[in-house]
Structure 1
Amino acid sequence: MTVFVPKKCFFQVIACTFLSILIFGCSNDDNNSDGSNTILPQFPCENGFANGHPCNGFDLMSHIPNDILGGEGAEGNDSWGWTDPETGNEYALVGTTTCAAFVDITDPSSPIFLGTLPTATVNSLWRDIKVYNNHAFIVSEAPDHGMQVFDLTRLRNVANPPETFTADANYNEFGKAHNIVINEDSGFAYAVGSDTFNGGPHFINIQNPTSPVAAGGYANDAYSHDAQVVTYNGPDADYTGREILIGSNANEVVIIDVTDKANPVQISTIDYGNLGYAHQGWFTDDMVYFLLGDELDEINFGTNSRTIVFDFSDLDNPIYHMEYLAPTSAIDHNGYVVGNTFYVANYSAGLRAIDISSLDEGVMIETGFLDTYIPNDNTAFNGAWNIYPFFESGNIIVSDIDGGLFIVRPSN
């Protein structure tokens, strides 16, 4: 049975149905004494729990399970977000084994499931989504999937949600890819872990989103699992204004100048002790430090969840700065920096927030969490795959392998 509950629950003068509460929630706008409008969480963090999920400092606004997002038996994987520049509405773009799902989370306590874009070929455990110029770009490790392009402005006026969408374009210069990275400043996408360029970055000009054009690639350092690409404005004046790719390449981290797509140049490489699998990393806002997650060090070496921090002040000579060990042995997956906070999807331990304001002194301190996977915090591949902490509203989305979409916010 297909269930849809609009943003303002039916018959607000009566209580929401149990199903509405479970999947979409009631709109619970309330007026404070000062007249301001406040959105209340469905499940506030109280006495260390939010609807049974261990928590500290984060409320669970709402939750939509995988069988709603992707159908019976679907599992969750990656996610990203989009803010409509015309309306200010916020949307969660959630990957599942079967599709990409689109959810309006403008009212995070009463999200609207708008519909899905099915996989281009067959189902896959891996689906990755990024956004540029109001379009979503979607890759998968499904054979012959290529890159789907979807015009997100179509989400403004969905008459009968949930709808089944079709792609606006398909790019087929590669078949499968593990991930996609986009530099929104330059209008170039980088598919990594594809079946081209030895798995290294595959360059795509997406300045006209629905007419993507192959722009070369970089094969010299073999497989790249994940990357961040920036137009550099950090402390190393030698590279100001250059387009720099930081690749998490399983066996090392590589820094590449990709400004000239026809002639990408390796700047440097770096490894570290107890290297299991260099998985994914993110620059600090000032581009001084790069925070790396290793996906297998907890399994291979028995450490607690570990973040390795490099000093990238000199891109030609990156150096090890410090490592942070979390208070859990769960595996760290994807992490992102917003100001002085490092947000990490910590698989079975859920969303973790870490204060990095004293990174110069070698200090990182966990300040809050919401555990999306209730059964345990084991060193295993369950739970939070990805987070998107970049919405200006403070909404944070967590895509969970087992649980689906969680919308959370810092507790007031």
Structure 2
Amino acid sequence: MKVLAALLVVVAVCEARHHHSHHEREFNKTQCVGKCVEGPEAFHMPEVMKLKEKAYAECHAEGKCPLNKPSIRQRSPCVDGKSAGEYDCSNIDMMSYVSLRDMGSNGDGNDIWGWTDEPEPGLRFEYAIVGMADGTAFVDVTEAESPVVLGMLPTHTFSSSWRDIKVYKNHAFIVSEATSHGMQVFNLLRLRDRPPPGTVPRLTADAHYGMVGNTHNIVINEETGYAYLVGSTRSGSGYRVCSGGLHIVDIREPLTPVFSTCYGGDGYTHDAQCVIYHGPDVRYHDHEICFAYNENTLTVVDVTNKNSIVMLSRTPYQDVSYSHQGWLTEDHAYAILNDELDEMYTSEKRTRSLLWDVKNLEAPVHYSSFLSTERSVDHNLYIVGNLAYEANYCAGLRILDVAAIEGGAEQVQEVAYFDVAPDWNTVSFHGSWSSYPYFASGNVIVNSIERGLFVLRPNHETIKKLQADAKLKREAIAN
């Protein structure tokens, strides 16, 4: 019955999406009226949220959420497949772990992002920005074995299992599913002033943007200075819900964010990546393109002209359950998409990473799927160079070699992993929420829903050797 119910919801969303198309011109207007102000007509996210809230409530009742194990401030190498005696691993060491409680939270963890401060040439500090149910923590992870919690910014209104963070011009932009939360803006340069050792001061936001209430995710294109708030659903006085689609904000002056326009031509957007496009489709070179993950499709939108936004394509795929999030390869020719519910609602329980050929922005193609050895729900992923960093809930951080992604799933291999959820080995919403793999140090930070912040160090030399061996094997076969 659960499978049938899920499929019926997906069908309803598909049908509603087709009905949205005739509203498209209305959303192209800078002026926000009518449907732009309203919430989406039909969307799947409430059902997903109910599933997660049920899982978290059960976890709390069992005393496992939050778990708040003692923080670990020393390196725990991965030896014989284990780190710190309990974490399954391969080619990744744990540098440290900071519990949710030690970051000033009384709730669970969620999203994570990072920031690098370079106050002068040759001097670099790395920070974790950690989303939690009741706020956002800021942790100096420069000395990876000795992380320092610098403060906690409480939620703007209420606690929520969903919080999302991005950074632009040394400012953190924070949204949440909490009612009337809007967008908090925090000046990260304030972190240069260190609190007394052992304290976790309560911080205040430097600015607040209130033209949305609840928002599921925030996307920032750092090349243009625009933020894309997606997944807003609750109408209210002064809100621009944008039918759950792209609520576009000019943040070029970070402390004075200004509403730009709406785009909701394909209804609810769960997450997106917006870039200045430099891929193979020369028709759109130097255009600002958003790759939107819209519950049952990959939807590509040209947002270059904010007064005339154009949907370039809207592509469903086989065995869709919930198109959740994805990321482009650095040449903008391919993308990997994660479907958050397919492991729960289809017969294939192994984590499925969907490989897309996006060389034609008007006709993307899902051409292959990489199946993990693990049975786990996938969540957020990012691609750096030729490595994909996937946060796959109960399976933890998984690193994939995607150097030959054009060859399909058989040319993709897992080269490292670290499971932050030793208590969970099921197809469920526990474990790793997300990772941040962009630090120059090569360290990767991961946020665990039940435990908190993990600072990890992949064995980059071993990973490079595995990649080199795979390349030699491909060349031998080709010859």
Query: Do they superpose with TM above 0.5?
Result: yes
Deviates more, 1:200-209 or 1:83-92: 83-92
CA distance in 1, matches of 2:347, 2:165: 32
Q: Does residue 84 of the first structure (1) align with residue 84 of the second (2)?
A: no
Query: Residue in 2 aligned with 1:169?
Result: 207
Contact 1:349/1:383 (8 A) holds in 2? yes
Query: Residue in 1 aligned with 2:456?
Result: 408
Question: 5 Å matches for 1:86-165?
Answer: 86=119, 87-160=123-196, 161-165=199-203
Query: Residue in 1 aligned with 2:421?
Result: 373
Q: Secondary structure at the match of 1:238?
A: helix
Query: Residue in 2 aligned with 1:186?
Result: 224
Structure 1: gaps of 5 or more residues: 1-20, 26-40
Tell me how far 1:275 sits from its aligned partner. Answer: 0.3
Structure 1 residues 18-72: Cα deviation after superposition (integer angstroms, max 9, x where no partner): xxx94262xxxxxxxxxxxxxxx62100111001100000000000111222433
Query: Residue in 1 aligned with 2:76?
Result: 43
Tell me how far 1:206 sits from its aligned partner. Answer: 0.2
Tell me how far 1:310 sits from its aligned partner. Answer: 0.9
Aligned partner of 2:322 among 258, 274, 277:
277
The aligned amino acid for 1:291 is I
CA distance in 2, matches of 1:225, 1:22: 34
Tell me how far 1:377 sits from its aligned partner. Answer: 2.2
Q: Secondary structure at the match of 1:23?
A: coil
CA distance in 1, matches of 2:200, 2:98: 13
Aligned partner of 2:439 among 388, 391, 400:
391
Q: Secondary structure at the match of 1:360?
A: helix
Contact 1:24/1:111 (8 A) holds in 2? no
Query: Residue in 2 aligned with 1:312?
Result: 358
Question: 5 Å matches for 1:252-401?
Answer: 252-303=297-348, 304-362=350-408, 363-401=411-449
The aligned amino acid for 2:192 is R
Contact 2:104/2:200 (8 A) holds in 1? no
Query: Residue in 2 aligned with 1:226?
Result: 271
Query: Residue in 1 aligned with 2:87?
Result: 53
Structure 1 residues 345-398: Cα deviation after superposition (integer angstroms, max 9, x where no partner): 010110000111121211211111000000232100000000000101011000
Question: 5 Å matches for 1:29-40?
Answer: none
Structure 1 residues 275-329: Cα deviation after superposition (integer angstroms, max 9, x where no partner): 0100000000100001000000000003210011110111011112211000111
Question: 5 Å matches for 1:177-216?
Answer: 177-195=215-233, 196-216=241-261
CA distance in 2, matches of 1:101, 1:316: 41
Q: TM-score, normalised by structure 1?
A: 0.90
Query: Residue in 2 aligned with 1:75?
Result: 108
CA distance in 2, matches of 1:343, 1:281: 11
Aligned length, in residue pairs: 376
Tell me how far 1:251 sits from its aligned partner. Answer: 1.3
RMSD: 1.2
Query: Residue in 2 aligned with 1:10?
Result: none
Tell me how far 1:111 sits from its aligned partner. Answer: 0.2
Query: Residue in 2 aligned with 1:65?
Result: 99
Q: Secondary structure at the match of 2:376?
A: coil
CA distance in 2, matches of 1:68, 1:177: 27
Identity %: 44
Structure with more relative contact order (C-alpha pairs < 8 Å, separation 6 or more): 2
More strand by share: 1
Q: Secondary structure at the match of 1:405?
A: strand
Structure 2: gaps of 5 or more residues: 1-68, 234-240, 462-479
The aligned amino acid for 1:312 is V
